[in-house]
């Protein structure tokens, strides 16, 4: 269960990270901005709030994968989720390294 929660949390943070400027899904917020403003935080604006929407997507997807995919192919079916979760882990590590290198007042490179 802990691995499920950890992978799900990192998946959510990975989706958040991938939607930031100059990342793979940076055009996706253009679509999300067509939704009412109250949906912006859970879809792309808040690194914590994204767990409410993307966590549901992750959990439902995992249910269907484990319920309907042959056990031999579960790992393959989870590859997109694991890759996005790895992105989330790398983002957390990257922010931690930048924090330790530059302190709390970290400024983005220009």
**How far, in Å, CA of 109 to CA of 89, rounded?**
21
Does the pLDDT value for residue 60 go beyond 80?
yes
CB atoms within 10 A of CB 88: 24
Count of residues in the chain = 110
Contacts made by residues 35-38, CB under 8 angstroms, sequence distance 24+: none
Q: Mean pLDDT, to the nearest integer, of 3-22? A: 94
What integer pLDDT is reported at residue 108 of this predicted model? 58
Average pLDDT, the chain: 91
Q: Mean pLDDT, to the nearest integer, of 19-30? A: 95
In Å, what is the CA distance from 19 to each residue of 30, 67, 71? Answer: 10, 30, 32
Q: Mean pLDDT, to the nearest integer, of 49-62? A: 96
What integer pLDDT is reported at residue 107 of this predicted model? 59
What integer pLDDT is reported at residue 97 of this predicted model? 87
């Amino acid at each position: 269960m802990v691995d499920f929660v950890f992978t799900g949390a990192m998946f959510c943070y990975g989706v958040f990270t991938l939607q930031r400027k100059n990342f793979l899904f940076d055009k996706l917020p253009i679509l999300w901005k067509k939704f009412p403003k109250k949906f912006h935080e859970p879809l792309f604006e808040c690194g914590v709030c994204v767990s409410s929407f993307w966590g549901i997507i992750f959990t439902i997807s995992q249910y269907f994968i484990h319920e309907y995919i042959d056990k031999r192919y579960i790992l393959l079916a989870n590859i997109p989720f694991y890759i996005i979760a790895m992105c989330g882990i790398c983002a957390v590590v990257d922010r931690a390294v930048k924090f330790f290198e530059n302190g709390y007042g970290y400024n983005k490179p220009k």
